[in-house]
Structures are given as structure tokens and as C-alpha cells.
Structure 1
Amino acid sequence: MKITAISAIALATLSQLVSGYTINGDSVNCRSGPGTSNGVVRTYSRGDDVTLSCQTEGETVKGDSLWGKTQDGCYVADYYVQTGTSSYVVGKCGASGGDSGDSGNSGSSGNTGGSGFCKALNAASISLIKEFEGFVPSPSPDPIGLPTVGYGHLCQSKGCGEVSYGFPLSESSAEALLKNDTPKYSTCLGEMLKGSVTLNDNQWGALTSWVFNVGCGNAKSSTLVSRLNAGESPNDVASAELPQWRLAGGRVFDGLVRRRAAEVKLFTTPSSSQAFPSCQ
């Protein structure tokens, strides 16, 4: 077949799909999902070429929250890929023109209301998490023995080696680490909820604080999420369900009782700023 013409857009898209982008870091991990807590599938060396099938939002790395899915079926932080821009160069994962059916995050329920929901939390939500996680300048076991640092960062390696800030952390670097961590939890929260659920930024932040505390897996299987998806009043659901999450290591913790009460208070505080299903 003789091709006599091709549009500039089609040519650019074809180039992106078949041309490799160069890895610009040493020993860059390609992971099973767009975040450093996901397992390492393979490791690239500086100068390796990768082909991107799609990109998605994930954990922020060096100020860049984009991750690309490579020809190896794993995700690499955009910061380490020489695309020439911090914006999308291929389609979004799970969107038209991208890698259909892949949300870019493990554990998706398929209920996501869209990619426009807020990843960042408002100041009140960050303050709540900081208050109840407490400031830990160097890696140390939490009340149930898990190694944490900063404001609730759960260490993923010995000595929290994945943290790019030096120890002991300052309060400002600990807050920056927290803001790098929370998008993972707001992303999985967004993937649990149906697009028919509407939440303002206080409700969104309160729920992200809860997910940050209990984990994505526990939240996904919760009655709280199923009731929201069933269309019940968000304020009624949060007021009834959040206080149930007061156990750690099989026993009631006063700190969790107080945290749940603070999350309910924030959740039920009116706000005109929508955070889910679209960020406004």
C-alpha cells in the first residue's frame, strides 16, 4: 500500500509509540504501579531507551507526579525519563488513546469517577494528618512496631533508604515528604468510589486521612465505601462509620478514637470546593 500523506498529529503519535525515551538516572526502578511502595519489576540503567504506552498520575518524585508505563509493563517515574516535558507525551492509562483498561494503579475497583479528582489535600487535611501522626525526625517504630519517619511515612526499606531527605528530618522536610505520600492514598480512594459520589475538599481530606491510616486494601473492602457507593448521605455515612476504625493491633487506641472524631468533624465542615469526582 502506498501512503502519500500523513497528518502531523498522526506522525507525532506514531513517533511517540515507536521511539524510545532515554533513562536519565542510575539504577532506575520500574515498578508494578506508579509509586515507590509498589514492587520492582526491573531496573533500568542510565542511557537505556524505553517506549511508553501510556502515562498516569502517581506518587510525586522530585516534584513530578507523572509515571509512564513502559514496554515491560511496569511504571517508571517521569522524572527519570527524558521526554522533554513534564506533561503527557502519550495517552493517559485507561483513557482513550492510552493503554485501555489499565488505571495505572493496583487495586482498582473499576468504579473511578474520572481523572479530575484532587490529588493534593487542603491545608486543614494536612494539619489533621500531621497532628495525629506526630513528628518523627528519624526512623522509629510506631505504637504497633512499624518503622515510620516524618509524619507517618511507613518505611519501605531498611533505614527508610527510599526517603530522599536527610535524617534527622526538619519539620518542613517532613511535611514535604507527607505531601509526596498522600497522593497515593487519594488516588486509591478515588478508584474505590463511583463517579456518582460527590465530595468537597474537607470530606475528601478527611477520607484520605482515614485511608492513609488504615491502608488502601482495608478501605476498599469497608462498609464505609460500599455505603457511599450505594448513594447514602456522605455526612451520615462518615459520622457512623469512621468512629468504628479505632483498633490497632487488636485493641482500642485513644489516639485513634480522637483521630476519627477529628476526621468526622472535618468531614462535616461545609465547603464550596469540590474535590471528587472532579477537582473544582
Structure 2
Amino acid sequence: MKFTSFAVCALIAATTAPLASGYQIKGDVVNCRSGPGTSYGVVKTYKKGQNVSITCQTTGPSVNGNNIWDKTSDGCYVADHYVLTGTNGYVAEKCGSGGGSTPPGNGGGYCKKVNQAGLNLISKWEGFVAVPSPDPIGLPTVGYGHLCQKKNCAEVKYKFPLTKATAQLLLNDDIPKYTSCLADYLNNSVKLNDNQWAALASWVFNVGCGNAKSSTLVKRLNNGDAPNTVAAQELPKWRMAGGKVLQGLVNRRADEVRLFKTASSKQAHPNCQ
């Protein structure tokens, strides 16, 4: 993602669900991801022998015959294959089955995608890149701001050089990762229309889930402050990358504020219409 100064920070989930604890990591270095699957970004890593607590479990892509993914107390997901639970079955309740295992936001009823205005905004500011290349602060990206997870962006399923059409498909693939974490961080009491949602999705896409989680912007929305006021005051603060103010970020934030303030009767959070 263009102009992002840091990789996605570690997520710390707030949950009241009972923890299944004391399970050891059995891989040498195991990635804990922002969602249940290898297509999600790496939030943190665990070392062999490290104990983890499991808040809930869900299904995802199979790893060595086991399609269960464990959500840890750090709020990220690790393939159950790499955790010594003693079974290939469930040792904790299923994510979303009740209690605090659901996201602290709306529990999955959010809009996974963003509207066309939001896609246009993201595409405009990320810019089209046909083959993996360093962005202005040196991070390897391709398409419309896809941050490479593997060497030469080997995880991308579309052929290089990308066309604008396949780059748009890649962007559509990437968006749910960021709308998912945004939904996790917002309380049900935060009411957002589709333009407000799209503007925030663009912001999270740019700054990363971890930075969004710890932001004053999210805290203020959850505290009940007026959304338009929060956006106008908080979004412009996110204008730095690599320790410098970048005019591109200043301009992008202004575009996001304008989109956020554009009236719409279509609700996107907490219940997508």
C-alpha cells in the first residue's frame, strides 16, 4: 500500500470468551494472520515452543489436511496444524458461536466491500503498478497498492504484468482484509453510511490495521463523537510516512474527508444494506 510507513501492527483482541490456553507452537516460525487463511497479512509470528491461548476456532484453507484455524489471544489467526492441541478437532468454541468470540464490532454483518466511490479513491491514490516495484518508501507493491507478502509477489494469482482490469480484481481481493479489521474495531453503536465506510476503508488500506486499531479516530467514534467531526479532525493527522509529511498523503486525506462527508442513505455499518 503506497505511503504506508509501517507493516501491519499486532492486533490485541478484546474478548470475554473463555480462553483455551497452554498450547505450544510446533513450527519453527509460525505466522499469525489477520484472518483465517494464508491470503491474509501477517500480524505477528510465534516461535517453536511458545505457548498461545486460543479464544475461538474457525475453518479456513486446509494446511496438511487440517482446515481449522485458531484465533489467539493476540487477535490473529494461526493454522491449527502448527499448534499442539492434541487433536485435529475443536478444543475451543467456534468463532461467532456466542459469548465474546465474535468481533467486538458487529460480528460479521459489515460490508466486506466498499462502494465504487471508495474504490475510485483508493485506485487514484495508490496508482497503477503493473509489476512488483518499490513504493515511495521502499515497500514492494503491485496493482493498486497490494503489499507483496512473498518474494516477487508470488502470492498474487494474476499474471504479471497486470492490466488495470486484473489490478482492480486484486484490489477487490484485498479490500475485505481491511474492512474486516475495521469492523472488528468499531462498536455497533457507530452508524456509518456507505461513503463514510468507504472513506475509512481507504484510510485503513493506507495506514494498516494495527495503526487504525490504536488510533484516536477509532476511539472517538466508539465514544460516540459525531462521525463527520471525527473524520474532519482526525483523518488529516495521518499525513506522514518515513518520518516526513508527504503532500500526497495530505491530498489523499482531504479526498477521504470529502467522501466521508458526502451524504448517502445507504447504511454500511453496523448492518450492510
Same fold flag (TM > 0.5): yes
Residue in 2 that maps onto 1:165: 158
1:102 shift after superposition = 3.9
Find out whether 1:225 has 2:210 as its counterpart: no
SS in 2 for 1:149: strand
Q: List gaps (5 residues or longer) in structure 1.
A: 1-28, 56-67, 75-90, 104-109
Which structure has the bigger radius of gyration? Answer: 1
Task: Confirm or deny: 8 A CA contact 2:144 2:167 kept in the other structure.
Answer: yes
SS in 2 for 1:115: coil
Task: Confirm or deny: 8 A CA contact 2:62 2:68 kept in the other structure.
Answer: no
Find out whether 1:174 has 2:193 as its counterpart: no
| 1:23-66 Cα shifts (integer Å, max 9, x gaps) | xxxxxx99643242237999735xx3x365899xxxxxxxxxxx
Task: Confirm or deny: 8 A CA contact 1:113 1:196 kept in the other structure.
Answer: no
Residue 212 and residue 70 in structure 1: after superposition, are their counterparts in 2 closer, same or farther (change >3 A)? closer
- Distance in 2, matches of 1:247 and 1:193, equals 24
Task: Confirm or deny: 8 A CA contact 1:30 1:43 kept in the other structure.
Answer: no
Residue 71 and residue 197 in structure 1: after superposition, are their counterparts in 2 closer, same or farther (change >3 A)? same
1:92 shift after superposition = 6.2
Residue 273 and residue 73 in structure 1: after superposition, are their counterparts in 2 closer, same or farther (change >3 A)? farther
SS in 2 for 1:113: coil
Find out whether 1:200 has 2:193 as its counterpart: yes
Task: Confirm or deny: 8 A CA contact 1:54 1:93 kept in the other structure.
Answer: no
Residue in 1 that maps onto 2:139: 146
1:115 shift after superposition = 1.4
| 1:154-193 Cα shifts (integer Å, max 9, x gaps) | 0001100000111100000000000000100000000001
Residue in 2 that maps onto 1:44: 63
Amino acid at match of 2:223: A
Residue 168 and residue 70 in structure 1: after superposition, are their counterparts in 2 closer, same or farther (change >3 A)? closer
- Distance in 2, matches of 1:198 and 1:171, equals 33
1:1-280 correspondence runs (5 A): 32=33, 33-35=35-37, 36=39, 37-38=41-42, 44-45=63-64, 48=65, 50=66, 52=68, 72=81, 93-96=95-98, 101-103=100-102, 111-280=104-273
Task: Confirm or deny: 8 A CA contact 2:132 2:153 kept in the other structure.
Answer: yes
- Distance in 2, matches of 1:95 and 1:212, equals 29
- When the two chains are superposed, the root-mean-square deviation of aligned CA atoms in Å is 2.8
- Percent identical: 55
Query: Which structure carries more relative contact order (alpha carbon 8 Å, separation 6+)?
Result: 2
1:112 shift after superposition = 1.1
- Distance in 2, matches of 1:113 and 1:191, equals 7
Amino acid at match of 1:222: S
1:113 shift after superposition = 2.2
Amino acid at match of 2:95: C
SS in 1 for 2:206: helix
SS in 1 for 2:108: coil
- Distance in 2, matches of 1:205 and 1:51, equals 32
Residue 44 and residue 226 in structure 1: after superposition, are their counterparts in 2 closer, same or farther (change >3 A)? closer
- Distance in 2, matches of 1:252 and 1:71, equals 42
SS in 2 for 1:195: coil
TM-score (norm 2): 0.70
Q: List gaps (5 residues or longer) in structure 2.
A: 1-29, 47-60, 72-76, 84-92
Count residues in correspondence.
212
Residue in 1 that maps onto 2:24: none
